[in-house]
Amino acid sequence: MPKEGHFINRSNWLRAAVLGANDGIVSMSSLLVGVTSAGMASGNVMLTGFAGLTAGALSMAAGEYVSVSAQADVEAADLERERVALEEDPDYELEELAEGLESRGVDAALAIKVASQMTDHDALGAHAREELGMFGLAGQANPLQAAGASAVAFGLGGAFPLAAALMAPQAADISAIAATAALALVLLGGGGAKLGGAPMRPAITRAVIWGVVAMLFTAGVGQFFNTTVA
């Protein structure tokens, strides 16, 4: 019998990678379309693009580092509270674990036996899974790794519209940036869905729609101000 193929173990790193790349594509394309629509000179558009790419990548890295660190702190604090509770009142914690198993359909007599075996094997790990929904103890999340991955993903995503702005003739800047960004979003949506074992069409559709909305909005802002910057 063939083994089932599951992709949930990829969800954390895939989410971070898709978020970073999508933010890079949408942020950079919207920024470049906006300043181009406002009539900014080509050289200044490029300078703005490189500044935006650098700032965006660093912002993503900082955001991921801070958020993953905060998550790790919360998990560690919860685990410490659970460890203290297991030391101070192990009988209550055993009953609590058994009740949790009962609520999931395990017979009461069997639940207490299973809870006892789980406690003997790894009491803190059992309570982390059953009470806190943590599959693995705190410390598995790596803030530096998350920060680096997000920065790289943002840079790779943002490089597509920036490359289009660099290579396209000035008269075709907006069309080239928008088309390249849309293509990059198609690839991102489809690739992310493929890696996650999910349907590709909805992933592509939502990625492209939100990207186009962002570009249209910033293009409108640029047209509204329509100021040539020398």
- pLDDT value at position 161? 92
Do residues 17 and 202 make contact, with C-beta atoms less than 8 angstroms apart? no
pLDDT digits (tens, 9 = 90+) for 9-52: 555 666 777 888 899 999 999 999 888 888 888 888 889 999 99
- pLDDT value at position 5? 52
Q: What DSSP line would sit under 120-187, residue for residue?
A: HHHHHHHHHHHTT--SS-TT-S-HHHHHHHHHHHHHHHHHHHHHHHHHS-GGGHHHHHHHHHHHHHHH
Tens place of pLDDT for every residue, the chain, 230 residues? 445 555 555 556 667 778 888 999 999 999 998 888 888 888 888 899 999 999 999 999 999 899 888 888 888 888 888 889 888 888 888 888 888 888 888 888 888 898 888 888 888 888 888 777 776 554 456 788 888 888 999 999 999 999 998 887 765 678 888 899 999 999 988 888 887 778 889 989 998 999 899 888 888 887 777 654 43
Do residues 188 and 22 make contact, with C-beta atoms less than 8 angstroms apart? yes
- pLDDT value at position 123? 85
pTM above 0.85, yes or no: no
- pLDDT value at position 180? 92
Do residues 210 and 186 make contact, with C-beta atoms less than 8 angstroms apart? no
Amino acid at 203: A
Please name the residue that has the structure tokens 């895939």. Answer: 14
Joined together, the tokens standing for residue 55 give: 């700032």
Do residues 142 and 55 make contact, with C-beta atoms less than 8 angstroms apart? no
- pLDDT value at position 12? 62
Calpha distance 131→52 (Å, rounded): 43
Please name the residue that has the structure tokens 């970073």. Answer: 20
- pLDDT value at position 181? 92
In angstroms, how far is CA 82 from the centroid of its own chain? 29
Joined together, the tokens standing for residue 187 give: 């690839």
- pLDDT value at position 147? 86
Calpha distance 83→72 (Å, rounded): 16
In angstroms, how far is CA 188 from the centroid of its own chain? 13
Burial of 9 (0-12, 13-18, 19+ CB in 10 A): exposed
